[in-house]
Amino acid sequence: MQEIKLEKLDDNRWLVPQTGAMRVPGIIYASVKTSGLLAKDESARQVANVAHLPGIVNFSLAMPDIHWGYGFPIGGVAAFDLETGIISPGGVGYDINCGCRLMATQLTLDDVRDRVQDLTAALYRRIPTGVGSTGYVRLSGKDQKKVLEEGARWAVRAGFGSAQDLETTEDGGCLGGADPEQVSARALERGREQLGTLGSGNHFLEIEVVQEIFDEQAAAAFGLGKGQIVVMVHTGSRGLGYQICDDYLALMVKHQSETGIVLPDRQLACTYLSSQRGKNYLAAMACGANYAWANRQILMHLTREVFEKALKIAPRELGMRLVYDVCHNIAKIESFRVAGVEKKLCVHRKGATRAYPAGHEAVPARYRSVGQPVLIPGDMGAGSYVLVGREKAMNETFGSACHGAGRVMSRSQAIKSSRGRSISRELADRGVLVMAGSKGTLGEEMPEAYKNLNDVVDVVHDAGIAQKVAKLKSIACIKG
């Protein structure tokens, strides 16, 4: 296979030249610090592979958290023409609408400093974690259908939060076009008892403190101030979303020859957006996305209850509210200007986050003067960043930014590297209390398994697609 030779465009972008059957070039966002990591896996090759797909517009893109994924690289962004383009489950990912939810409180670090251990233990007891974990929300067939159709709206109506939460959730917490009839019985069964669960792997709930403010205007709009206690939740659609992806990948692999599309990698199995199979996948994917939004809405409600009970404070004293909820494994029909013409495109974001600028109608009204919050968490010890979308993202990345730091070690490599170490003790020495279901989880998620968060965020900031607003320091984390 021909070697991928990257060409430096500027300090934050590298060109994947258009060669062979590629329909467009590729662009990878990376600094000199992070670009050397591209040689460690096949992710640059995957950027080139995606560029072979029919109907792709402008470029095959990758954000600075890029690393190898199934078919598409994680951190990959690609937009496709609705008439000639494709939809690929590998471009969305197995965990449909895996995303982040940031909740702010009226508490400061001084308010909780002596209670962090009790609070973390209470959260760990109350929030179901781990592989196959089940929540206390048991869904009947009728209720499950409504969850898949209505997402976070169902959760709010069921008493988990308020309508105000929906105002600062991407798409109001509900993706249109969902059709539960396109979801298999196996997927429905897997999702029946997992609503309100965190899961395992890189999913987490973190208590964080606002450590630094970079943009006072945007921070004020988001309600963030130095020393403030916030909570970040990272999870998705659990077994239901995984099964939807698995089902449709198998279906598309089976019928790939019927499309006439020649693929450089069978993991790019896809079908045309205009086909019935493509429409069915989008309808099923929307169900997975809505399940994930309902899941995060319920987890926020549980978190609020734990804080109030553990700290013995009233809801008004806590003042927990949703700053923003953003998804980062999704395909959406969105409008962009292409060659001076407004067009609707299907934008695949796999391990990438929407980053819309000020004035865009999709940005919540309360943030429209500054832009959409962009949430970028790092490893367990690094904390997170809050950024704000910029107009340049609309022109260059289909309104997208990265979703995290990005792995540099596989899970098996990380577990091997962590043997003989106490990751929890190392993190405690750095001021981060961690509670997890197993040492294996901590090993595969150890800080060294990820890129340096500061370096990754600097690429996004310096490239001008999103601007730094605040840095959050982790003080406690629970994992499966």
Which amino acids are annotated catalytic? 403
| Alpha carbons 464 and 404: distance in angstroms, whole number | 17
Contact (Cβ atoms closer than 8 angstroms) between residue 68 and residue 42: yes
Query: Nearest 5 degrees, angle CA 387-CA 391-CA 392?
Result: 90
Give the strand pairing for 86-87 and 74-81: unpaired
The length of the chain is 480
Task: Tell me if 276 sits within 8 A of 265, measured CB to CB.
Answer: no
Beta bridge partners of 395: none
Reported in sequence order, the residue ranges of 155-196 that DSSP labels E, i.e. its strands, are none
* Residue 441 Rama label (left phi>0; alpha psi -120 to 50; beta): alpha
* Distance, CA of 303 to chain centre: 20
Q: Are 12 and 463 in contact (CB under 8 A)?
A: yes
**Can you give 76-119 as a three-state secondary structure string?**
EEEEEECCCCEECHHHCCCCCCCEEEEEEEEEEHHHHHHHHHHH
C-alpha span between 321 and 223 (Å, rounded): 10
Identify which of 300, 392, 360 has the alpha carbon closest to the alpha carbon of residue 105: 300
Residue 332: partners with Cβ closer than 8 Å, 6 or more residues away: 175, 346, 347, 349
